[in-house]
Structure 1
Amino acid sequence: MLKLHDELIAKLTNFLTERNYNPVVVANHRLYARAFLDYLAECDIRVESVTPGQVDQYFHYAIEDFQARYGRDPSPRWHKLPRTAISKLLRLAQGKWPPEPELTGPDAAFRHAICCEYEAWLRDERGLASASIAAAMWEARNFLRWQFDRGGGAGLATLNVRDVDLYMDMRGPGLRRKSLADVAERLRSVVRYLHRTGRIPTDLTPHIIGPMLYAYEDVPSTLDTEQIAAVLAAAKTDLSPRGLRDHAILQLLATYGLREGEICRLRLEDVNWREESLHIRHTKTNAHSAMPLLAPVGEALFDYLRHGRPRTEAREVFVRSCAPYIAMTNLYGMVRGRLSAAGVEPPGKRGPHVFRHARAVEMLRASVPQKIIGDVLGHRSTESTNTYLKLATDDLRAVALDVPGMEVLS
Structure 2
Amino acid sequence: MANRKPRSNRLLTVDDVYRQPVGPASDPKSLYNLLLRFVRWRRERNWSETTLKVQTHHSYRFILWAAERGLHHAGDVTRPALETYQRHLYQYRKSNGEPLSTRTQRTTLQPLQVWFSWMAKQGLILANPAADLELPRLERHLPRTILSVEQVEEVLNGCDLTTRQGIRDRALLELLWSTGIRRGEVAALEIYSADFSRRVLTIVQGKGKQDRVIPVGERALWWLNRWLHHVRPEVLAVPDCKALFLAMDGMAGLTASGITMAVVPYLRAAGIDKGSCHLFRHAMATQMLENGADLRWIQAMLGHRSVESTQIYTQVSIRALQAVHASTHPAEQRENPEPGAAAEPPESP
TM-score > 0.5, shorter chain as reference: yes
Say if 2:60 is the partner of 1:132.
Answer: no
Q: How does 1:177-216 map to 2 (within 5 A)?
A: 177-214=102-139, 216=140
Structure 2 equivalent of residue 283 of structure 1 = 206
Which is richer in helix?
A: 1
Consecutive unaligned residues of structure 2, counting only runs of 5 or more, are: 1-14, 93-98, 332-342
1:354 deviation in Å?
0.8
Letter in 2 for 1:195: A
1:376 deviation in Å?
1.2
Cα distance in 2 between the residues matched to 1:104 and 1:165: 22
Comparing 98-107 with 360-369, greater Cα deviation is found at 98-107
Q: How does 1:389-408 map to 2 (within 5 A)?
A: 389-400=314-325, 402=329
Partner-residue secondary structure (3-state), 1:350: coil
Match of 2:34 among 79, 104, 114: 114
Say if 2:297 is the partner of 1:372.
Answer: yes
1:104 deviation in Å?
8.4
Structure 2 equivalent of residue 60 of structure 1 = none
Q: How does 1:311-390 map to 2 (within 5 A)?
A: 311-312=237-238, 313-322=240-249, 324-330=251-257, 331-341=259-269, 343-345=270-272, 349-390=274-315
1:220 deviation in Å?
4.1
Change in 2 beyond 3 A, CA 1:181/1:368: same
Q: How does 1:28-47 map to 2 (within 5 A)?
A: none
Match of 1:225 among 141, 144, 149: 149
Deviations 1:274-305 (A, max 9, x none): 54432112521322222345332222223223
Partner-residue secondary structure (3-state), 1:325: coil
Q: Given that residues 184 and 209 in structure 1 are in contact (C-alpha distance below 8 angstroms), is that contact kept between their aligned partners in structure 2?
A: no
Structure 2 equivalent of residue 12 of structure 1 = none
Consecutive unaligned residues of structure 1, counting only runs of 5 or more, are: 1-96
1:190 deviation in Å?
2.0
Letter in 1 for 2:162: L
Letter in 1 for 2:298: I
Partner-residue secondary structure (3-state), 1:278: strand
1:323 deviation in Å?
6.6
Change in 2 beyond 3 A, CA 1:118/1:334: same
Cα distance in 2 between the residues matched to 1:379 and 1:99: 31
TM-score, normalised to structure 2, is 0.76
Structure 2 equivalent of residue 162 of structure 1 = 80
Letter in 2 for 1:360: A
Change in 2 beyond 3 A, CA 1:129/1:384: farther
Deviations 1:147-197 (A, max 9, x none): 24433544x213212211222233331301221122222222222222222
Letter in 2 for 1:307: V
1:108 deviation in Å?
5.0
Letter in 2 for 1:219: P
Change in 2 beyond 3 A, CA 1:146/1:269: same
Partner-residue secondary structure (3-state), 1:151: coil
1:385 deviation in Å?
0.8
Q: Given that residues 286 and 316 in structure 2 are in contact (C-alpha distance below 8 angstroms), is that contact kept between their aligned partners in structure 1?
A: yes
Cα distance in 1 between the residues matched to 2:221 and 2:18: 44
1:381 deviation in Å?
1.1
Cα distance in 2 between the residues matched to 1:336 and 1:175: 24
Letter in 2 for 1:142: R
1:339 deviation in Å?
1.0
Letter in 2 for 1:143: F
Letter in 1 for 2:77: L
1:250 deviation in Å?
0.4
Change in 2 beyond 3 A, CA 1:140/1:105: closer
Letter in 2 for 1:316: A
1:375 deviation in Å?
0.8
Letter in 1 for 2:261: G
Cα distance in 2 between the residues matched to 1:98 and 1:132: 15
Cα distance in 2 between the residues matched to 1:134 and 1:109: 23
Letter in 1 for 2:142: D
Match of 1:143 among 57, 62, 83: 62
Count of aligned pairs:
306
Change in 2 beyond 3 A, CA 1:105/1:383: closer
Cα distance in 1 between the residues matched to 2:312 and 2:205: 18
Say if 2:230 is the partner of 1:310.
Answer: no
Comparing 184-193 with 249-258, greater Cα deviation is found at 184-193
